[in-house]
Amino acid sequence: MKSTVEQIRLRFDRDVERFSNLETGQSATVDAPLCLELVTSVAAAVTPQAQSELDIGCGAGNYTLKMLQKIPNLNCTLMDLSRPMLDRAHQRISAASMGRIEILQTDVRQAKLNAESFDIILAAAVLHHLRTDQEWRQVFSAILRWLRPGGSFWVFDMVTQSSPVVHELMWQRYGEYLSQLKGNGETGQAYRDSVFAYIEAEDTPKPLLWQINLLSDVGFMNVEILHKNGPFAAFGGQKALS
């Protein structure tokens, strides 16, 4: 049985401090600092006149803070399950921006937002919590609807591999990466096992190409893969101008 939304929320409520660091906040994900820079740089390049941003699963606000370095004073809507995460994100972002900040404590699957409200939508390490194929299609379609014409959507997330053999190899390499974060030995193995345990309990990621095809299928154009390393990838696309 997978964790409930409430169980996932409670885990993140307890982990605000770890996610409040731009450099190490997502150390359990491979190439997190690189993809933080890539995603926000591409969003700014593709949507340079952006005035508003939605950060889905914003955590403590790292992606929005980095986005504000590229396009200052965006109006920011922050969405997350965890109220402590939202409070920390609001605190950090309000100190860095003169733009309007709105916080939404909700699940993206339940979110009710107006069409054509945002120029940029970001989703970092959050969509892997979606379950069924229909939920993925529903969320990608909603994101397209929420974007203004010409707006763009960018993702950094865990992905699976289409081939079971390749998936097993990538998972083994990811386990080695996690162990090394804590210095190998018993401490590293325990950390690896703890991360694998909550991934098994909480997450249902999809293959990268499956998500790329779904983006195109629901109507995104200029779909791009920015980076992939093992079971993590950065990618996204743009809404047509008309």
> Which one, of 47, 43, 84, lies nearest residue 63 by Cα?
43
| Average pLDDT of span 74-95 | 95
Residue 235 φ/ψ, nearest 5 degrees: -165, 175
The pLDDT value given to residue 53: 98
Asked whether the predicted pLDDT for residue 20 surpasses 80, the reply is no
Asked whether the predicted pLDDT for residue 149 surpasses 60, the reply is yes
Report the predicted TM-score, pTM, of the whole model to 2 decimal places.
Answer: 0.92
Total count of residues recorded for the chain = 242
| Average pLDDT of span 160-188 | 92
Asked whether the predicted pLDDT for residue 26 surpasses 80, the reply is no
| Average pLDDT of span 19-25 | 60
Q: Where are the domains of the chain?
A: 5-162+204-238
How many CB atoms are located within 10 Å of the residue 112 CB? 7
C-alpha torsion 157→205→190→179, nearest 10: -50
pLDDT (tens digit per residue) in 28-62 = 889 999 999 999 999 999 999 999 999 999 999 99
The pLDDT value given to residue 25: 55
Distance CA 41, CA 50 (A): 13
Asked whether the predicted pLDDT for residue 22 surpasses 70, the reply is no
Share of the chain above pLDDT 70, in %: 96
Check: CB of residue 229 under 8 Å from CB of residue 31.
yes
Distance CA 180, CA 189 (A): 9
pLDDT (tens digit per residue) in 186-230 = 899 998 999 999 899 889 999 999 999 999 999 999 999 999 999
The pLDDT value given to residue 183: 80
Check: CB of residue 117 under 8 Å from CB of residue 148.
yes
Least confident of 22-36, 101-115, 170-184: 22-36
Residues facing residue 98 across a β-bridge: none
Write the CATH number of the domain with boundaries 5-162+204-238: 3.40.50.150
The pLDDT value given to residue 19: 67
Per-position DSSP letters for 170-206, written without gaps between them: HHHHHHHHHHHHTTSHHHHHHHHHHHHHHHHHH----
Asked whether the predicted pLDDT for residue 24 surpasses 70, the reply is no
Check: CB of residue 178 under 8 Å from CB of residue 191.
yes
The pLDDT value given to residue 11: 78
Distance CA 163, CA 120 (A): 33
Six-digit token string for 7? 């169980």
Distance CA 3, CA 88 (A): 24
> Which one, of 178, 177, 173, 176, lies nearest residue 191 by Cα?
178
Asked whether the predicted pLDDT for residue 71 surpasses 90, the reply is yes
- Residue carrying the six token digits 């169980």: 7
